[in-house]
Amino acid sequence: MGPTGATLANLLANRGVSVSIFEKQNQPYALPRAVHFDGEVMRVFQSIGLSSEITSSSLVNKGMLFKDLKSHTLIDWSRSQDIGPMAWYESYRFHQPDLETALLNGLKRFPNIQTYYDSEVQKVSDNGKNVTIELTSGEKHISQFVVGCDGAQSAVRELIGEKLMDLGFKQRWLVIDLVLKNDRPDLGDHTVQICDPDSPMTYVRGTGNRRRWEMRLKDHKLTKITPNDVWERLKKWISPADAKIERSAIYTFKSSLAKKWSAGNIFLAGDAAHLMPPFMGQGMCAGIRDVANLSWKLTAVLNGINKSILETYESERSPNVREFIDLTVRLGKVINQTSKTQQETTKMDSIWPSLGPGLGKRSNIEGQLAPQFLLSELKKSDDMSPNGFYSLKKQKGRFTSTNVKAWLRNNNIAEALIRPDGYILETISENENENGFNIKNINLSQALPARKFFG
């Protein structure tokens, strides 16, 4: 029941699905881990009605700078401080316990959720119709589907006999979280990657008075760091007079991907299905994208749609997350070297990879992430149907947002059918406007609640 599992439970319960959560710990984890999410993920939080709770404890991120040892900027990945194409800011910093509190409080809204703490799953068995979950306590529970959102050491992944494929990146890093005692504006608001083949390092501006340093370890046998070690490593930037240590931990950063994301009625999501180094801050984001995709498909099946739709979960998500992993690894290689020839600063933009093959064709903009439009000061286009499909179209005699009209015109389409996860399912070109959408897609959209179209 980390961010991926708690988001999935909110998404499903919001659509009327009955959910049981089995959490092996006896209470939420109180220390920081993930620190970044993007505008697409905020769109998902919007869909479960928790955007205001989450933004209130988050910080709009200034972006990331890659610098050499002389402080020359090699790559400038500054993030816009204006509202972006998702109708949210491009990038946010957050404190994971704050995010999890908002998500867990969100679960309290629903009578159709049961949470079992201190409940470790030791066996899952699928008979084709349903799945039996057996806990170490001996308790058994029966469900139609199981989703393992249980992290890098996923027990569910192991129980279905799946392994992660090693994609070639593996490094040990020290992660240090500090809480400032005194204001230190000189540290800056950008994340800074110090590119150095000998001792690469990352500085992260967190929410409030939190700051993070990450340092690659040269000693592969080192397993424990003392507070004195921490301050010795940080003495160039900060001292115990300025901050206290909240946490220090040694992590092995990896790039890995599950070959199969499901077995029958059992699915994997988040770190259980993929791992990437933290250099883009996309690890947790990828897990949220997984459950945004899977949740509405599970709901559609429970509402009568053919089960084969679930086969598109892995085929769509795996190529998408692979693009993030590959770019993250390339950035990791930059961090682990210093350019001796580069004179000009390279500007970098955010990426929005398309889905892999799955639902619908991929001949035009289908499978791409649709922008979200501001229809008024308080209304966004996804709000038209927070749990289901909607269409963006031009209609004579009816109000249509100027931005929607421009987007349709620029893509030479008369209408676009938007999926519940924000991706484009189908488009109608200008010259086939009278034919309407594929009837199968209309049936699919009718299987989900709150289906609305607007012009």
Burial zone of 67 (CB within 10 Å; 0-12 exposed, 13-18 middle, 19+ buried): buried
Mean of per-residue pLDDT scores for the chain: 91
The CATH number fitting domain 359-455, selected from 3.40.30, 3.40.50, 3.30.70, 1.10.287: 3.40.30
pLDDT at residue 13 tops 50 = yes
The residue among 146, 323, 152, 162 whose CA lies nearest residue 258 is 162
* CA 132-269-135 angle, 5° bins: 30
Here the tokens at position 132 are 């039996």
Give me the amino acid identity at 274: H
Here the tokens at position 326 are 């590959």
Q: Average pLDDT in the 142-154 region?
A: 97
Distance CA 149, CA 429 (A): 39
DSSP 369: B
Give me the amino acid identity at 233: R
Q: Average pLDDT in the 340-358 region?
A: 82
Distance CA 336, CA 432 (A): 52
Given this model, what pLDDT does residue 275 score? 97
Residues 199-227: tens digit of each pLDDT: 899 999 999 999 999 999 988 788 889 99
82 alpha-carbon distance from chain centroid: 21
Given this model, what pLDDT does residue 451 score? 37
Residue 340 binned pLDDT confidence (cut-offs 50, 70, 90):
low
DSSP 103: H
pTM of the model: 0.94
Contact indicator for 316, 358 with CB cutoff of 8 Å? yes
169 alpha-carbon distance from chain centroid: 20
Given this model, what pLDDT does residue 303 score? 92
For residue 410, CA distances in Å to 404, 405, 407, 414, 455 come to 10, 9, 5, 10, 17
What DSSP line would sit under 254-279, residue for residue?
EEEEES-SEETTEEE-GGGTEE--GG
What's the CATH superfamily of 3-61+83-166+258-341?
FAD/NAD(P)-binding domain (3.50.50.60)
Angle, helix 3-14 to helix 39-47, in steps of 10 degrees: 40
Alpha helices in 336-435 (DSSP H): 402-410
pLDDT at residue 440 tops 80 = no
What's the CATH superfamily of 168-254?
D-Amino Acid Oxidase, subunit A, domain 2 (3.30.9.10)
Given this model, what pLDDT does residue 430 score? 79
pLDDT at residue 454 tops 50 = no
Torsion on CA atoms 325, 2, 122, 172, rounded to nearest 10: 50
Give kind and range of the element (H or E) at residue 11: helix 3-14
Residues 253-305: tens digit of each pLDDT: 999 999 999 999 999 999 999 999 999 999 999 999 999 999 999 999 999 99
pLDDT at residue 174 tops 60 = yes
Residues 391-429: tens digit of each pLDDT: 898 776 555 677 888 999 999 999 999 999 999 999 998
Strand partners for 171: 253
Distance CA 289, CA 269 (A): 9
Domain ranges of the chain: 3-61+83-166+258-341, 168-254, 359-455
Strand partners for 426: 417
Among 240-244, 300-304, 342-346, the range scoring the smallest mean pLDDT is 342-346
